[in-house]
Copies of this chain bind each other. A is one copy, B any other.
Amino acid sequence: MTDKQSGETLTRNQTLVLEALSAAETAMTAYALLDVLRDSGLRAPPQVYRALERLRALGLVHRIESLNAFVACCHPDHDHAPATIFAICEDCGTVSEIENEAIAGRLETVAGEADFKLSRSAIELKGQCGDCTAK
């Protein structure tokens, strides 16, 4: 176990993708990332998708299912609750990550009542963020 790349350190491509995502205001599609990173040497979709896959496994990036797009985790340091909630502004596109134990627990209960063995969940809210409501 030489730790060449066995768990912690990010490769060049992974770092590029994570930095691009972190710098973005909104969720980005894989192709948007590719466009942005073309000058940094990325040339083809698999390079981006592979980096995203790894970053997701590390919990540094989340996929927003309803947008087919990706965001950097806003608190990669601590572990996630079993149910993370994403609030997506339909006006400006910003995505906020919300943790809520109560809802996570309630979802577990509801799943149990339906005789469903829950492994993971995606909760995506659409609406208007505070900034856009104020406008």
Contact = CB atoms under 8 A, between A and B. Distances in A.
Given A103-B103, A103-B106, A103-B107, A114 B126 contact: no
Interface stretch (A1-9, A16-24, A52-60, A94-102): A94-102
Interface stretch (A28-36, A42-50, A70-78, A117-125): A117-125
Interface size class of A (residues with CB under 8 A): 20 to 34
Interface of A: 65-66, 85, 87, 89-90, 96, 98, 100, 102-103, 106-107, 110-111, 114-130, 133
18 contacts: A65-B124, A85-B110, A89-B116, A98-B114, A100-B110, A102-B106, A103-B103, A107-B123, A107-B125, A111-B125, A115-B130, A115-B133, A117-B128, A118-B127, A119-B127, A120-B125, A120-B126, A121-B126
Given A119-B127, A123-B124, 18 more contacts: A65-B124, A85-B107, A98-B110, A98-B114, A100-B106, A102-B106, A103-B103, A106-B106, A111-B125, A114-B130, A116-B128, A118-B127, A119-B126, A120-B125, A121-B124, A121-B126, A122-B123, A122-B124
A115 B80 CA distance: 22
Contacts of A103: 103, 106-107, 110
Copies in the complex: 2
